[in-house]
Homo-oligomer: A and B are copies of this chain.
Amino acid sequence: MTSLAAHTAETSADTPQNDAAESSRPVEFRVSPEAYRHWRLSFDGPVATLTMDVDEQGGLRDGYELKLNSYDLGVDIELYDAVQRLRFEHPEVRVVVLTSGKDKIFCAGANIRMLAGSPHPWKVNFCKFTNETRNGMEDATANSGQTYIAALNGTASGGGYELALACEHIMLVDDRSSAVSLPELPLLGVLPGTGGLTRIVDKRHVRRDHADYFSTKAEGLAGKKAVDWKLVDEAVPRPKWDDTVASRAAERAATSSRPADVTGIVLSPLDKQRTDDEISYRYVRAKLDRSAGTVEITVTAAAQRAGTDIAALHAQGADFWTLAMTRELDDLILDLRTNELELGTWIFRTEGSAAAVLSHDQLLLDHADDWLANETVHYLKRTFKRLDVTSRSLLALIEPGSCFAGSLLELALAADRSYQLFGVFEDVDPDAEPAEITPGEMNFGPLPMGNGLTRLRTRFLDDEDALAAVQAETGHALDAEAADALGLVTFVPDDIDWDEEVRIAVEQRASFSPDALTGMEANYRFAGPETMETKIFGRLTAWQNWIFYRPNASGADGALLKFGTGQRADFDRKRV
């Protein structure tokens, strides 16, 4: 029974309409408000309202209807775009009210038909992206003075309630029918996939026995009990709903740190070329090698140094190198993760002037109180965080002409391994400057990982002296010998060994079990303290991976396919 179920689950992985990697049209993450099918953004002074009104027929793939404000990846791509634009294009916004355009339903969560028909990697990648978007909402609240309020004007179930959990304040209409619920376990035999379990106990401090009961009660809880158990912050009768939402928004807006009288910038459409073997933007390009299973990613520095006047950032807006490069890298990561599952190793290179990179870093850090500089650095932080949770092996190659300096040095620090050439390539350019890396201020605080520590501090977890030794070299270019002595790079082969050593590393990576690599990398990348974020990506994701994969969830008799049929799932009852 279970083996038959496993067989079916696997077969569904080959259904073309569901498998982005095998579909002719890659999933596209670039979108803008004019093209939204599922969301409406409206503005009233410092309060923005983000209204979810999903187009049932607007699914990213065929085979399901997005009923009851349920969502698929396409819906979430628009949400991510809205969250980003609110930060960059709308500095006047201090509160974002998240609500629904439907009667009686806020959001029913991820679409079940979509999940049931999706191959395993799609499900996992979809959960990862939606998690990152919700973390991004919390990041906006914490770091941009844009507080998210969930105005649940109807039932929020599953991923719908998890979306609310990413907000700082949850209001639920008290009308004897609207409830919050996590019906995944009782109805679908899986876990809430976007941080619900973690946020309930670790963010909202719901008691674990209450959490247990709540998560097994498909219809959820409402009214006073939902408030008493801390599942929502307030239950508001419908007659008082509009006024109460408005006053909560006004209260939060009044305490925001967001500056007054500033003007946003425009996140103009990203210029991107994509062929079957190359994806390129202005500062980022990627070469896809399907036979080797690799992507060679090159990030280019700005052509010129930045000045010291922050007005240049505002004048250049989305053309400012750091922001432009970050947007490109962000889009590339999302594209590759979703569309190129078999390219298991990403190889990072940089090229250009380290001084140009560092000057852009410096301008941003010297004006950390400028809202746009602040947004740019936090966006860079979130983008590098995506790398940390990407289930691909990451290598960095540090060669002559590269610019692993400051912000771009994080690429090497995020990598599972880095190789820095000792000396130069004699055949190519014997007179070149040797490969160097340059620590910068960006490496010592502004760009923490999900565990709350910088990549350098995580690298030298027990070793304050090692960290101090690197910090003493801030702004200094370090050749291979110096970088090696400081513990900043993994290997420093010379010209003679370079090609073979790199080739072996890449070939080895391609020969190993992709699953085991993913598990190993997820464990090694996050030493030290844990946070809600690392719990969500490290622990919850792993459990969900396993549960999704088991026939009890995804088999022909599993809960996902039986959902809505009136038949019960047939479970293998062994506890593992």
Binding site for B on A (CB under 8 A): 2-4, 6-7, 10-11, 13, 21, 120-121, 124-125, 184-186, 188-191, 197-198, 200-202, 205, 207-213, 215-216, 293, 341-344, 391-392, 415-418, 458-463, 487, 489-491, 508-525, 527-530, 534-535, 538-540, 542-547, 549-553, 559, 568-569, 571-576
Q: How far is the CA of A92 from the CA of B161 in the complex (A)?
A: 57
Given the complex, which residues of B lie within 8 Å of A417, measured CB to CB? 209, 212-213
Q: How far is the CA of A349 from the CA of B553 in the complex (A)?
A: 33
**Neighbour of A553 across the interface among B293, B509, B513, CB < 8 A:** B513
Q: How far is the CA of A544 from the CA of B515 in the complex (A)?
A: 10
Q: How far is the CA of A188 from the CA of B573 in the complex (A)?
A: 28
Whether A215 pairs with B520 at a CB distance below 8 angstroms is yes
Q: How far is the CA of A75 from the CA of B255 in the complex (A)?
A: 62
Q: Which 4 A-B pairs have the closest CB atoms?
A: A189-B513, A530-B530, A542-B542, A546-B546
Most buried by B among A6, A293, A341, A391: A6
Closest to A529 in B: B530
Most buried by B among A527, A540, A576: A576
Whether B517 pairs with A543 at a CB distance below 8 angstroms is no
Given the complex, which residues of B lie within 8 Å of A535, measured CB to CB? 530, 538
Given A201-B524, A212-B520, A514-B573, 6 other A-B residues pairs in contact with their CB atoms under 8 A: A191-B516, A201-B527, A212-B417, A391-B575, A513-B552, A535-B538
Whether B216 pairs with A515 at a CB distance below 8 angstroms is no
Given the complex, which residues of B lie within 8 Å of A521, measured CB to CB? 212
Given A7-B6, A121-B575, A527-B208, A520-B197 contact (CB < 8 Å): yes
**Neighbour of A205 across the interface among B3, B344, B461, B571, CB < 8 A:** B461
Given A197-B524, A490-B213, A572-B514 contact (CB < 8 Å): yes
Closest to A558 in B: B513
Q: How far is the CA of A211 from the CA of B459 in the complex (A)?
A: 11
* A and B contact pairs by CB, cutoff 8 A, 25 listed: A3-B6, A4-B7, A121-B576, A184-B516, A185-B516, A189-B512, A189-B513, A191-B516, A202-B528, A205-B527, A207-B459, A209-B415, A209-B416, A209-B490, A511-B568, A514-B552, A514-B576, A515-B553, A515-B576, A522-B543, A529-B530, A530-B530, A542-B542, A545-B546, A549-B549
Given A185-B513, A462-B205, A416-B212 contact (CB < 8 Å): yes
Given the complex, which residues of B lie within 8 Å of A215, measured CB to CB? 520, 524
Given the complex, which residues of B lie within 8 Å of A189, measured CB to CB? 512-513, 515-516
Q: How far is the CB of A122 from chain B (nearest CB, A)?
A: 9
Given the complex, which residues of B lie within 8 Å of A574, measured CB to CB? 21, 121, 341-342, 514
Q: How far is the CB of A380 from chain B (nearest CB, A)?
A: 21
Given A515-B576, A530-B535, A572-B514, A523-B191 contact (CB < 8 Å): yes
Given the complex, which residues of B lie within 8 Å of A520, measured CB to CB? 185, 191, 197, 212, 215
